[in-house]
Each structure stands twice: as structure tokens, then as C-alpha cells.
Chains A and B, each alone.
Chain A
Amino acid sequence: MKTKPTQRPTLPQTVLLLASSVLLLALAAHNVNAATQKIPRLANGKPDFSGIWQTTSAADYDLEPHSNRKDAPPSAGVVEGFYLPYLPKALEQKQKNFAERDKLDPALKGYTLGVPRGIYYPEPFQIFQRKQDLTLVHQFGHSVRTIHTDGTGHPKDPYDWWLGDSRAHWEGDSLVVDVKHFNDKTWFDRAGNFHSDALHVVETWTFLDPNTIEYKAHIEDPNVFSKPWDLSVMLYRHREKNFQLIEDYRFTLDYDEHYPPKPDGK
């Protein structure tokens, strides 16, 4: 079949094309501006992340791409580059963790989930924000985390905190949080992805619109990974009427039948 040779656009056509492109770009920019201008702000003009948030990602099941399993829905993964750059010995440990994840996952013991896992664990958490700090209250495990935004630095004689020590600054409308001084007792997900106490996390929190946060985490741990890596998930605001956090504290479950003590001793 003969095809018609492609014709070059005439000058008026080119001008029209350029003009419409410029118009479309301007409209898009206007929309972005309209969305970011509507985001909630504190009295000092900084974005206000207060509210109850939750991921819809399958990140907590496995950060890496995975097909469906009996214990996990499928996901394309949330890691830039798809797979975590494990050092060879650490990869062996990860594989052992994966094989025994139904016993070893710290979340099954009710342990505090750590950072960043607490953020994309598929249950809600609430943020209370003041100009000097943000307080994150997680539904799971009674975890309460403070992110300091008062310009202070990490402590000089740190402990090994479950949630690390969080110090933040603003880059435009993004909150950038430096987190370190962790212990090595938490995992990144249920699939056995893990870290050492040398973990260093840099989070970036940015509003995409008033009810959506783009959450990014840059992860470094020279004891476990050959290079730093990044993950990204979306957090959505809960807007249901009367929505609230309900405590999810698991240490006591094994003893529930004994409390409160019954008057007849049964």
C-alpha cells in the first residue's frame, strides 16, 4: 500500500501549535498553583500536615515488586530501581527473614514499627503539628514520634531509639526530616527487608493537593546496603465522618482472658 509522504507543517500551523502548547502549559501551571495554594497552612505560612493519614499501597507487605502470595497482595513495588541493593551477606539474612517471616516479623510481636515502616503500614496515623514540631501518633503499638522543626540538631550522646531521632527543616513547601540513632530491631516490611543500627533515613513530605501527601524516604545503611536507595508512597487523608484512631496494642492480647479478674475466680 502506498503511503502519503508526511508533509511538513506550514508556518501558520507551527505558530498555532506553539501557541496552544504555551496555553496548555500555562493552564497546567495554574492548576498546580491552585492546588498548592489551597493546602492547609499554619499561622507562620508553613504547610500544615495535621490530620489522619493512611497509605493505600502494598508497601508494608513487600517494598520490592512481588506477585500475589497467600500472605500478601501483589504490587509493582515502591522502590526506585525496584530492588534493594543488599550486600551479599545481608541478602542471605534477608532470605532467612523472608523464609521465617510468619515468626520473625517484629510487627507480629507488637513491636513499634520504626521509620519509615510506620508511615506506610496499612493502618491510620495522626499528625498534630505546631510550628516547633510535629507529633505523629500511630494506631499500631502505641507509637508516638516527634519530628522537631525548631532548628535543633541530633543529640550528641544518643540512645538507640525505636523511631530514631527526627530533626526537620523546610525546603519550600516540603518538610525534609533527617532521622538517625535507630536500634536494629525493626524491619522495613513483612517480607524480611531489614536494617542495622547504622540506619539513616531522610524523609521528604510534600502536599500534592490538600488531601494527598507524597512521602519519600532516602535510605542509607552501609552495614546492609551497597548504596543508598529511595522509596515513595502516597498518603491519603481520612475524611470519613467521625473517623478516629483506635488503639491497637498487642502485648496484652495473650492475657486478655485473665483481665479484669472475675469475682468468682473463673
Chain B
Amino acid sequence: MNKKDLLPILFAAGLTFLVTKPVDAHHAFSAEFDAEQPIELKGVVTKLELVNPHSWLYLDVKQPDGNPANWGFEFGAPFSLKQKGITKASLPIGSEVTVQGFRAKNGKNFGYAVTTILSDGRAVKTGGAQDAPGAQENPAQ
């Protein structure tokens, strides 16, 4: 194969490299969530996944038109949640919770949960990413 034949192949390979986004694995807060878009949503729990590396809480949130929209919130790792008293029993399906956090950069119904207020009024820091704004306790407070 001469150099001339090789050029289109190299071009195609280069293009493939440019448009292929690396698979996201375990990540930092800023890779997926937007610190400029804080949100607070009240909803009814539809599913709690206590799964490594991040747990997820799914809520049905009432929209202005009255229909529910399902939102997913990233939580911390199951073990850190357990240390804070969060198990499947404390977040049962059908219970009402309020989540304060940040919205996903992709604009879909996903977010990062910083604080979750349970139906018994308990507020729990639920985030897992070390660099999430507000995820850490403020020693001055």
C-alpha cells in the first residue's frame, strides 16, 4: 500500500478518534454535574439502588402540568450511606423526600444529591463526590 492510499484511512482514523468520547467510569462531580445549576425537588421515592460505586435514588416529581416526571439522583457509596443511617428501610418506595443538589450537565432528569430531607424530617448529607460544592461539612458553621 502506498502513501496516497493510506491518507484517507489515516483521516478516517483521526476523525474517529476526535468524535469518540471516552467511556465515563468512576468520576468527579464536575465531570457530570453543573455547580451553576442548583436544584431542590420534592418527590415520591420510586426506587433506591444501593449499588457500588454510587447509589441512586429515583423520585417521581410533580410537574406544573400535574404529570409526574421521574428524576434520578446520584448518592454516595452504600457503605457511607449506611454509616449515616440510610438503608432501604429508611427510604422506602412511596415515601416523600426533598432533595437539594445540582443538575446534570446533559440537561436530562438527573442530578447529584447533596442533602436529602427524609419523610421524618431528618436531613442527611448523601453525596459521594469529594469535590461537590456543599458536600463537605463547613467547619465554620
Contacts and interface: CB of A to CB of B under 8 A. Distances in A.
Whether chain B is bound by chain A comes out as yes
Nearest to B17: A257
Interface in A211-260: 251, 254-255
A124 to B, nearest CB: 24
B23 A160 contact: no
Interface string A185-202: 100000000000100000
Interface stretch (B45-53, B99-107, B125-133): B45-53
Contact of B89 (A109, A157, A197, A251): A157
A183 interface: yes
Interface string B14-35: 0000000011011000000000
Interface residues of B, number: 13
Nearest to B79: A159
B87 interface: yes
A255 to B, nearest CB: 7
B84 interface: no
A162 interface: yes
Contacts of B62: none
A70 to B, nearest CB: 21
B51 A162 contact: yes
Nearest to B78: A159
Interface string B86-103: 011100000000000000
Interface string A152-164: 0000011111100
A251 B51 contact: no
A160 B50 contact: yes
Contact of A255 (B22, B78, B82, B88): B22
B23 to A, nearest CB: 6
Interface in A129-169: 157-162
B51 A157 contact: no
B27 to A, nearest CB: 11
Contact of B88 (A157, A162, A183, A251): A157
B51 A185 contact: yes
B25 to A, nearest CB: 4
Interface of A is mostly: loop
B25 A157 contact: no
B50 A159 contact: yes
A254 B23 contact: yes
Given A157-B87, A157-B88, A159-B78, A183 B49 contact: yes
A162 B23 contact: no
Given A251-B23, A254-B23, A255-B22, A160 B49 contact: yes
A109 B25 CA distance: 9
A104 to B, nearest CB: 13
Nearest to B50: A159
Contacts of A157: 82, 87-89
Contact of B52 (A110, A162, A254): A162
Nearest to B25: A251
A183 B51 contact: yes
B23 A109 contact: yes
Contacts of A251: 23, 25-26
Contacts of B50: 158-160
A84 to B, nearest CB: 24
Contacts of A161: 51-52
10 contacts: A109-B23, A157-B88, A157-B89, A158-B88, A162-B51, A162-B52, A183-B51, A197-B49, A251-B23, A255-B22
Interface of B: 22-23, 25-26, 49-52, 78, 82, 87-89
Given A157-B82, A251-B25, 5 more contacts: A158-B88, A159-B51, A159-B52, A162-B52, A183-B51
